[in-house]
Structure formats: C-alpha cells, structure tokens
Amino acid sequence: MTANKAWNFVLVGVGGQGTLLASNILAEVGLAAGFDVKKSEVHGMAQRGGSVASHVRWHPEKVHSPLVGTGEADILLSFEKLEALRFAEVLRRGGTAVVNDMAVVPVTVSSGTAVYPGDEHLVRIFASLDAELVMVPGERLAQEAGNVKAANVVLLGAVSRLLPLPEETWWECLAQRVPKKFLELNHVAFASGRAAVTTAGVRA
Amino acid sequence: MKRVLSGNEAIARGAWEAGAHVAAAYPGTPSTEILEELSRFPHIYCEWSTNEKVALDVAVGAAYAGRRALAAMKHVGVNVAADSLFYASFTGAEAGLVIVSADDPAMHSSQNEQDNRRFAQFARVPCLDPADSQECKDFAIAAFDLSELFDTPVLLRTTTRTNHSSTIVELGERTERAPRREKFPRDPAKYVMIPANARKRHPLVEQRVRDIAAWAEKSPLNRMEWRDRKVGVITAGIAYQYAREVLPGASVLKLGLVHPLPQQLIRDFAAGVERLVVLEELDPVLEEAVRLLGIACEGKSIFPLCGELDPTVVRRAAAGAGLPVDRPPLTVEQLALPELPARPPVLCAGCPHRGVFQLLSKKKVPVTGDIGCYTLGLLPPLSALHTCGCMGAGIGVAHGAAKAGIRERMVAVIGDSTFYHGGLPALANVAYNRSNVLTIILDNRTTAMTGHQANPGTGITLQKQPAEVIEIEPLVRALGIHHVVTIDAYDIDALEKAYKELMSHEEPAVLVARRECALLPEIRKRWVPLEVVEEKCTGCGICFRIGCPAILKSEELDPKSHKPLALIDPDQCTGCEVCSQLCPHDAIPTRDQMRLAEEHQPGSCPTPVSGGS
C-alpha cells in the first residue's frame, strides 16, 4: 500500500444507524494498511435519535488530533441526507461526499415545526464546495443483499472504491468484525456498495 | 501486540495489567465503558455500585485490604464521591488506589463542564492527564505505582475526547500481585479519622504533596520537546494533540502529571523560550500555577475557557494571537445552507416513559426531573419537565417547593437506577418530613441512558451473576409511604386512574410506572409494528403530539380537513400501543385488534403457505 497520504474521514448520521461499527472498521482498515490511526465518536445522550458524528484519521507517520477540523475531511460519509447538509462544512474543497439516499425524518419535521430540505440542496451545496457528490442507495442494496441493516457495510463498500487500498484489506477487517453467519451477506453488501461508485478515487 | 483501543478500553487494560483486584463504578458518560471492559477480564472483581460514593468506598476498602483497586466515574460523580475522596486522601491505603474522573468538556452528555483537576488540588492528591489511549493505559499503570510509592489515592483524569477516541495501543501482560496484607489493618491512627488522628495526618498529607512535586521534576510522565524556541507551549491531556497539530514547530512542555507540578522544570522551560503559552482545555489550572511561580505567560487570553477545544478552535485562536500556526485558519465557507431542521435526541419509539409525560403534559403540573433518558421529557412536543440538576435532585427539589407553600401539587419523576443511586434518601426525607409530593418512579428495568447496565432492580450483576432484585414497592412502603400504586407504563387508562387516585391524597405518594426499555435485546425480539388505517385517520394530529419518532406524516391528506394523515414507520415502531390508546378515531389498531381482524378476513391465513402450482 502506498501509505504516503493522510486521510481524514467524517462519518455522520442519526443515532442507531450503525455509524460506530463503520468507523471501527474504517480505523482497523487504516491500521492494517500501515497507517497511524485515530478515531473519535460521541456516546450517551446524543445517541438517542440525535445527530451523531465519528471522525477517523489515517496518517503515514503520526496522527495528533483525533478530531478533523472544519474544511479538512477528504471524505464525508453520511448515512442520512439531512445530516450530510448539517456537516457539509467539514468537507475540504474538492473532497468527496458519499451520501446514503435515505431520509430519517426528525420529530421537528413530523410534528410540523420544520421542513425537510429537498435533494436539490445536496447537489447545490456540494457543488459550491467543488466536491464530488456520490449518492448510494444503501438500504435498497442492503435489502437486496439480504438484510436492510447491512446498509452501513454497503456504504463502506462505496468508500472503499475511493481509496487506493487492496480490496482484501477490507475483507479481512470486515471478517473480524462481523459474525460468521452474516459474513456472506456482508460481502455481498460491501461489493454492491463498491460497485455503486463509478468515480475512481478522490481528487487531490 | 498492537490494537486500536478507546481511551476507556485502554484504562481498563492498564488496570488489569497493573494487577488490580477490585474495580467499582456507577455508569456515566463518558466513563461507562471502563468497567464494562474491565469486567470481561479474569482475576478481577468488578461491580456496578449503587452510586459513585459507594463505588469509591468499595475501592478504598479493597485498597485498605491490600489489593489494588480502581473506582471510575464521570466528572460529576466525583462530586457525589467527594466526601470519600477527601478522607481517603488523609488515610492513604495499603495498596494502589486509583480514581478515574472522566470529565466532559462541551457537555456532550452532562449538566456542567467542571474541571476535576481542581479536585486534585482541593483533595491534595496527584492527578494524571493522558493525551491518547496509549497514555491512558500507561498512566493507569503509573497511577497505581504512584499511589503505592506515596501512600495516596491518585486521580486519573480524562476528558470525553480521550475516553471516546481510539488510538493504537501496545498491549502488555498482567503483573500478578500478591495481596500486600493478609489481614485487614488495625491502625486507627491512620484509618480512624477522628479529629485527634486527622490533625496528625494533615501535615503528612501536605508533605506528601511537596514530595510528589519533587519526584515530578524527574518523572518521565512530564517531558520537554525542544523545537523552535520562539514559542513554548505548556500543555497537557488532549490539548497536547491540538498543540502538536496546530503549532508543529513550537517547543512543548508536555505535563502528564498535572498536580502537583514540577516547579523547576517549568522554570527551565520558561527560561528556554521567548514567548510562553499555556494551552489547556477548560479552567486555567496550569496557567494559574505558572503565574504563581512569578512567570509571565499567556493562556486564557488566547484560548477559550468554555467548551471543548478542537483543531479549528485552537488554530483560529492561535493565529489571532500571532502564534506560528501550521497554516492559516480556513475562512468558513458561507455555504448558503437552507434552514436545517434540528435533530435533538428524542425519547425512542416505544419508550415506556412517553405515556407518563403525555399525561403530565396534559395535566400541566410542575415536574421536577432527574438524570436519565426521561430527562428528554422536557423536549417538545411533550415539554413536561421543568427542572433537572443532578442525580437524585428532583425529589428533594419537589419537597422544598411543596414545603415553601407553592399552590401547585409537585410531581417528581425519577428512573429506577437513579432512584437507587440518589433518590432513596430524598424519598425517605419526603416520607419523614411529610410533603404531598407525588414521586413517579419510571422503572424501565435497566440503566438505559448509558447503554443498559445492570442495577439493583435487574436481578443480575455486572459480571453476570444472579442477584437479589431489590423491589421498589416494599422498600417505599417501609419508608412509611402508604399510597403506592404500580401500573404498566404502556396502559394509558390505568396510568391516568392511578394518577388521579394518588393526587386525591394530601400525603406522600409514589406511582411506579413499570415497563422494560423497548431497546433491551430480549424486548426487541417482541416488536410488532402497528399500522394506521387510512380510512379512519382524519389527520387530527393527536398522535403527532406525543413525539414518537415512528409516527410520520403521510403524503396522503384527509379529504375533508386537508391535513396529512398519520403514517407509522414499520422499521421503528415497537407496537407499544400508546398511540392506539390515544387515537380518538380508532385508526391505529392494537396488536390484538390486528390479530382479530386478520382472523376474520376471508381467505387470510395465519401462517404463510406456498403458492399453488
């Protein structure tokens, strides 16, 4: 692996969507590929259906801050569309936003006090950041793979397509984290996410 | 062997490698995972104590008995345990005694952001402040050694960002330690803190602080990193990482032991740099200490006192003060975002607390709350909680308001785990001093907010041993409270009936609203999502006003009112039926009604059959 570039990831979503497992795997993939890695996440009250964010950093020598600064993420992986907008500012100019095509309607919207923003804002905001926007139908692909809950693994598959690491590194880390009986399902989910991305790599 | 560990996992690993024999804690974010992780190791007894003070006393007892012991808690837990921290500082122990205080800058999950390095100064105990997971492990081991070297409890102080960040850790093996005592010590001059004995201990304690400060001059816990000498940064804990990230060229004095401080080391460092800056999160603890040495420095004049630091905050502040930053701070892009709906945490779908807050909201009574998931009862649309201060406060606050002669009936709500933690003495006070407070115990059979830990009501211990279930009702009756009613928290009619009955007495009363947390693994298996019958729904909106995240607005409008119909998200709905009971149009059938309807539907079959060929 050419571990000569540092990578900053921010994973966002709604409490309970599986961002923690995805960020764990991402950290382990970085370690397996020879990077120094740090990962940071939020627990507790914020998880009760609130917005959540995990930060993962890979560096060829040494990661200092476990947090990614504003405008410093190479890849924003959002499990939910509204959260992609909320955290858009972490993405650097020219970065890539991988966004799950999924709306989790907050109570503020269902109770009628706020309006869920339309998809046109995603296109506009990430274009204004000169960023690539990759929409992934995570739940649909996970369902096709056999379980809707594997959407987080679909999304990891999508991210894997953007990184110059051998696919086997991902398989190995996935196999360590996933119960054996669900391994096949997760392989299919991962592969379908990987195939769903047509862009190759992240622009410098 | 190298692994990616969270700070909490690393502290647990360190305690285990250090040969600790006993660990006790009360769950609290961001400290909870320390004991969860440690309890899985062999050769160590771990427990969830009923509160942090008890946890510390348990650890003290084990350390008196000559076994290394650890107590872990969140920062505000140290407030609860403070009495014990102070006597333990005076007595010392027979074996290593370490207290983990997990501070929460930014209050991700807390009521304040107190800086517990102050507690170390206050209680005269040394304090270690790790900067990543490797240090969490190494400092946990060093803390036990330091404790035994100087006969003192040691505070291992972390922050959320170190607890919940994961970094690479080199694992070691456990050093088995024989108990340092065969029998419990009989040494009243050291362990019985009557005034005559305590007076003799105090000078020893002050001398101990001076001795540790002298030791700190040479300790590898503190280190100087010489780079460019134009700027020198004194820093500790997670702030060290931000110093290295943002000011990579600056010389650094990295303090691992943040109390007591190595005075000569600080003087030497200060003398070696042109401009001295202190970078620390929260209080100016180090800055004040440096100034007391008569050394000029900058600190909180540059960096914020409130909230959590991060690279963006530090870079902006440092650049503003003319410090040599790695690169200019980004001008925050004006992203021209639309107005984004807030996504506050909510009571989950199927939360057994929802019915109680729906009732209290309707009754418009003043409600004093407590710490737990149910604190979320304050949020709209339920908006039914009016105070929340700390663990166990709600009942006492309600009693005080009642005794002050307020002309409203006070209601206190408290969860089961919080009741055992700090609610019990407050309820005994209500019973003893007789006020007409209605206490509602929201018993969801677990410590839910921190992730389903066991408690005295669950019948199991942290290390999965069967335990006595401490029943709430007999306990409450034994206090002399005569009006005690228990209902199923999902039963709206029973809830309202019990509420009315209890409010009819001008006496202390307790309502136990019992139902397991819907997220418990065994309960999840029994979820059955409900459905809205579109023909019956009128879009009246009553079900939207209970704040259930599973109830959505349909795109279908009612033909008469033109209001959106209700729609239930089958992936979130647990089938608690609270909405079914509140719907005035019977548009959300209960599970029983669904089953009956299915059985009466011609051609339907309860079990699927394969299609005919």
Q: What is the pLDDT of residues B228-255, one digit of tens each?
A: 999 999 999 999 999 999 999 999 999 9
* Statement to judge: residues B452 and B472 lie in one domain: yes
* Statement to judge: residues B378 and B270 lie in one domain: no
* Statement to judge: residues B230 and B316 lie in one domain: yes
Cβ <8 Å between B167 and A129: no
d(CA A14, nearest CA chain B) in Å: 8
Question: What's the confidence (pLDDT) of residue B599?
Answer: 84
* Statement to judge: residues B169 and B235 lie in one domain: no
Degrees (nearest 5) of the Cα angle A127, A130, A135? 55
> Which of A15, A43, A85 minimises the CB distance to B164?
A43
Instruction: Name the residue of chain A whose CA is nearest to B110's CA.
Output: A45
Flag whether residue A138 sits within 8 Å of chain B, measured between CB atoms. no
| Number of Cβ atoms within 10 Å of the Cβ of B332 | 11
Beta carbons of B98 and B15 less than 8 angstroms apart: yes
* Statement to judge: residues B364 and B505 lie in one domain: yes
Question: What's the confidence (pLDDT) of residue A200?
Answer: 62
* Statement to judge: residues B46 and B75 lie in one domain: yes
d(CA B331, CA B455): 49
d(CA A75, nearest CA chain B) in Å: 17
Identify the CATH number of the domain in which residue B43 sits: 3.40.50.970
Flag whether residue A32 sits within 8 Å of chain B, measured between CB atoms. no
* Statement to judge: residues B508 and B430 lie in one domain: yes
List the one residue out of B306, B262, B267, B289 whose CA is nearest residue B118: B289
Taking CA atoms, B116 is separated from A139, B24, B99, B146, B147, in Å, by: 44, 19, 11, 19, 18
Select from B523, B543, B571 the last residue of a domain. B523
Q: Would B52 be classed as within a structural domain?
A: yes
Q: Who's near B257: CB < 8 A, 6+ residues apart?
A: B126, B127, B128, B129, B212, B216, B219, B221, B222
Q: What is the pLDDT of residues B527-546, one digit of tens each?
A: 999 999 999 999 999 999 99
Residue B419 pLDDT exceeds 80: yes
Domain residues for the domain of B71 are 2-216
Look up residue B218 and give its two tokens.
């040479």
Q: By mean pLDDT, which of A33-37, B190-194, B342-346, B460-464 is the weakest?
A: B342-346
Q: What is the pLDDT of residues A73-93, one digit of tens each?
A: 999 999 999 999 999 999 999
Q: Would B406 be classed as within a structural domain?
A: yes
Residue with tokens 């109770």: A111
Residue B442 pLDDT exceeds 60: yes
Identify the CATH number of the domain in which residue B556 sits: 3.30.70.20
d(CA B144, CA B62): 13
- Residue B332 confidence class, pLDDT cut points 50, 70, 90: low
**A102 contact residues in B (CB cutoff 8 A):** none
- Residue B172 confidence class, pLDDT cut points 50, 70, 90: very high
Identify the CATH number of the domain in which residue B250 sits: 3.40.50.920
Cβ <8 Å between B315 and A112: no
d(CA B353, nearest CA chain A) in Å: 14
Q: What is the mean pLDDT of residues B416-421?
A: 98
d(CA B515, CA A6): 49
Looking at every residue in chain B, the average pLDDT score rounds to: 95
The domains found in chain A, sorted by start residue, are: 7-138 (3.40.920.10)
Q: Would B10 be classed as within a structural domain?
A: yes
Q: Would B329 be classed as within a structural domain?
A: no
* Count of domains for chain B: 4
Q: What is the mean pLDDT of residues A24-29?
A: 94
Cβ <8 Å between A85 and B451: no
> Does ipTM surpass 0.90 in this model?
yes
* Statement to judge: residues B244 and B300 lie in one domain: yes
Residue with tokens 């992240």: A202
Residue B603 pLDDT exceeds 60: no
Residue B454 pLDDT exceeds 80: yes
Question: What's the confidence (pLDDT) of residue B607?
Answer: 45
Residue B292 pLDDT exceeds 60: yes
- Residue A108 confidence class, pLDDT cut points 50, 70, 90: confident
Q: Who's near B537: CB < 8 A, 6+ residues apart?
A: B558, B565, B566, B585, B587
Q: Would B517 be classed as within a structural domain?
A: yes
Residue B92 pLDDT exceeds 50: yes
Taking CA atoms, A88 is separated from A53, A157, B476, in Å, by: 12, 21, 52
Q: How much of chain B exceeds pLDDT 70, in percent?
A: 98
Residue B61 pLDDT exceeds 90: yes
3 state DSSP class of B259: strand
Element (H, E) at B560: none
Select from B477, B501, B523 the last residue of a domain. B523
Question: What's the confidence (pLDDT) of residue A2?
Answer: 47
- Residue B37 confidence class, pLDDT cut points 50, 70, 90: very high
- Residue B333 confidence class, pLDDT cut points 50, 70, 90: low
Q: What is the pLDDT of residues B106-132, one digit of tens each?
A: 999 999 999 999 999 999 999 999 999
* Statement to judge: residues B401 and B440 lie in one domain: yes
Q: What is the pLDDT of residues B357-373, one digit of tens each?
A: 999 999 999 999 999 99
* Statement to judge: residues B187 and B226 lie in one domain: no
Predicted TM-score (pTM) of the model is 0.95
d(CA A118, nearest CA chain B) in Å: 9
> Which of B241, B341, B450 minimises the CB distance to A109?
B341
Flag whether residue A146 sits within 8 Å of chain B, measured between CB atoms. no
Select from B523, B539, B563 the last residue of a domain. B523
Residue B498 pLDDT exceeds 90: yes
Residue A1 pLDDT exceeds 50: no
Q: What is the mean pLDDT of residues A126-150?
A: 95
Q: Would B343 be classed as within a structural domain?
A: no
* Statement to judge: residues B430 and B287 lie in one domain: no
Flag whether residue A45 sits within 8 Å of chain B, measured between CB atoms. yes
Flag whether residue A106 sits within 8 Å of chain B, measured between CB atoms. yes
* Statement to judge: residues B75 and B193 lie in one domain: yes
d(CA B546, CA B542): 7
Q: Would B348 be classed as within a structural domain?
A: no
Q: By mean pLDDT, which of B292-296, B391-395, B549-553 is the weakest?
A: B549-553
Question: What's the confidence (pLDDT) of residue B247?
Answer: 98
> Which of B238, B245, B337 minimises the CB distance to A125?
B337
Question: What's the confidence (pLDDT) of residue A179?
Answer: 87
Q: Would B611 be classed as within a structural domain?
A: no
Question: What's the confidence (pLDDT) of residue B153?
Answer: 98
